Structure 1
Amino acid sequence: MPLVSTGELVTAAQESGRGVAAFNVVTLEHAEAIAAGAERAGAPAVLQISENAVRFHGGDLTAVAAAAIAVARASSARLSLHLDHVESEDLLRAAHPAGFSSVMFDASKLPYGDNVKRTAEAVRWGHRRGLWIEAELGAIGGKHGDAPLDAHAPGVRTDPAEAAAYAADTGVDALAVAVGSSHAMTARTASLDHALITRLKEAVSVPLVLHGSSGVPDDELRRAVAAGMTKINVGTALNTAYTGAVRDFLATDRAAVDPRTYLAPAREAMAATVEHFLGVVVG
């Protein structure tokens, strides 16, 4: 099936009051698992590649993007391609030629004024090329290389009034907000601030994005979507399933040397995880 745009998927989900899940791609097996899980769930999904994943692949966006696009086009599911947590201007500019329909431009570590300025510039540049642009306001934390962050510390969560001003001043198409989740959580113990999600939904007209959803329990995710979250990002949960399956296989077959023997169950474990999250988020 031809690639669809992230903006199309997110807009449709927002209008229907449902969520759309976005899953991080690190290897070819990740992309294949996301497509398989989406097909089983009968739901659309976003294949997203982060700046960290691009760095893992030697800094070359084209190869991993081409692999994800090939998987998406061979799938019967409606899939889009998204470039996630981009801080590099060069990487932002590589997105459109590489086939991405959307970019999450991340200036959230900067002071508020600088975040607005750089994000507005990225939005203007992206919109001229038809790119849908997501940004972040607040401190979600937990990304590779970041210091540990207490998602419940004062000043960490996104302020609704500030979010409204930020969205208006930058022109972003979607806004990632801090409401109690954190990246890279391997235990699903996060507790979200649902009252804050409701207030943010009332203050901001663009779709809201929940990063760090791997650490959020199913019921919390359902409540978050009902309160106004639209794009639900999942990364660590796939890696947990992948690595767990590899560990289990090699623990029982220590003589195995063919990676296909343990990557096949790893890919299947990720596909099952994708199917589960889509059932929760889409309903």
Structure 2
Amino acid sequence: MSLISIREILKDAQDRKYIVGYFEAWDYGSLNATVRAAEEMKSAIIIGFGGRSFETPVGWDEVKLASFASVGKIMAQNSSVPTAFILNEVEDLGIIKKGIKLGFNSVMFDGSSLSLEENIKLTRKVVKEAAKIGIDVEGQVGRIPSTGERIEKNFLTSPEEAAYFVEKTGVSALAISVGNIHMATDEESSIDLGLLEEINRLTSVPLVMHGGTGFPDTLVKEVINRGVCKFNVGTILKEVFLREVKKTLEKIDLSKADFQELLGSNNQADVFRKGYFAVKEVVKEKLKLYSSPMI
């Protein structure tokens, strides 16, 4: 199956009414856990990294970007299930261009903090650059708040602006704001299904729901029927990883520990292995929830 375009994956989800999960990794282990989960479930998947992973106080870590791009591309190419590889939520056009050249086969340009016209202008530039080598682009209209932040009415995606944006930019997928929340750890999102339905009516591209961790499980079927084809999930993966590692470390007497076994051995004693196993199990649960069909 290996590496395929996000457009192809999302078109199938759109036609067959299911959601493809994008599970955001932060290192090799979390990326590997995600792919292994998809293979065990025999489900299509989107892997990748967030732009924040490559930010430093003094600029972008381009060596890290190149390294992660190489690892992710190789892992996707060797996956036994359809796998797309995305560089997610980047506001810097220079980094987007580097990501395209380094091997990500899709990118998400986040121009949601800009005016609509400026967002269209820059997103269109990304689409034009990406199209030269067959790369898909996800754009965004509307601002998605972070957990604890009040949702203002002007954050929400305007259906008319969404339709205009899609027409003018040619994006392959559209991230929207309909009450979903970034980095939430509980099911605290209050989703405006009527707004979502209107956005879906006026646009033709697959819709994307960021903030998958805090999204109510009970509404997944509802949003599938209203055009959502991709969920972004990240926070819960880091949460379960850290909880499992913390629990494991609390049981260890470091004065008697075999440090070679505890870290980097990749056997049963490796504390990170248990964390990555927890990540894999969450991904499998989400794939079931999203009605992702077996390949």
TM range (shorter): over 0.9
* Structure 1 match to 2:95: 91
Q: Deviations over 1:65-93 (max 9, x none)?
A: 22222333333222111111111122111
* Structure 2 match to 1:275: 284
Q: 2:61 aligns with which of 58, 61, 69?
A: 58
Aligned length: 278
**What is the correspondence of 1:73-92 to structure 2 with a 5 Å cutoff?**
73-92=77-96
* Structure 1 match to 2:134: 130
Distance across 1 between alignment mates of 2:101 and 2:161: 33
Distance across 2 between alignment mates of 1:16 and 1:142: 31
Contact 1:22-1:46 within 8 A present in 2 as well: yes
Q: Deviations over 1:184-220 (max 9, x none)?
A: 1122222211111111110110110000111112112
SS at match of 2:185: coil
Distance across 1 between alignment mates of 2:277 and 2:221: 24
Distance across 1 between alignment mates of 2:6 and 2:253: 42
**What is the correspondence of 1:119-268 to structure 2 with a 5 Å cutoff?**
119-142=123-146, 149-151=149-151, 153-255=152-254, 256=257, 257=259, 258-260=262-264, 261-268=270-277
* Structure 1 match to 2:267: none
Distance across 2 between alignment mates of 1:12 and 1:102: 17
Alignment TM-score, normalising by the size of structure 1: 0.92
- Which of structure 1's runs of 4+ aligned residues deviate more than 4 A? none
CA offset at residue 254 of structure 1? Answer: 4.3
Distance across 2 between alignment mates of 1:125 and 1:64: 21
Instruction: State the superposition RMSD in angstroms.
Output: 1.8
Percent pairwise identity:
28
Contact 2:100-2:107 within 8 A present in 1 as well: no
Alignment TM-score, normalising by the size of structure 2: 0.89
Distance across 2 between alignment mates of 1:29 and 1:141: 29
CA offset at residue 155 of structure 1? Answer: 1.2
SS at match of 2:21: strand
Distance across 2 between alignment mates of 1:266 and 1:216: 23
What residue ranges of structure 2 are gaps of 5+ in the alignment? 265-269
Amino acid at match of 1:162: E
CA offset at residue 227 of structure 1? Answer: 2.0
Amino acid at match of 1:196: L
Matching of residue 42 in structure 1 with residue 42 in structure 2 = yes
CA offset at residue 237 of structure 1? Answer: 1.2
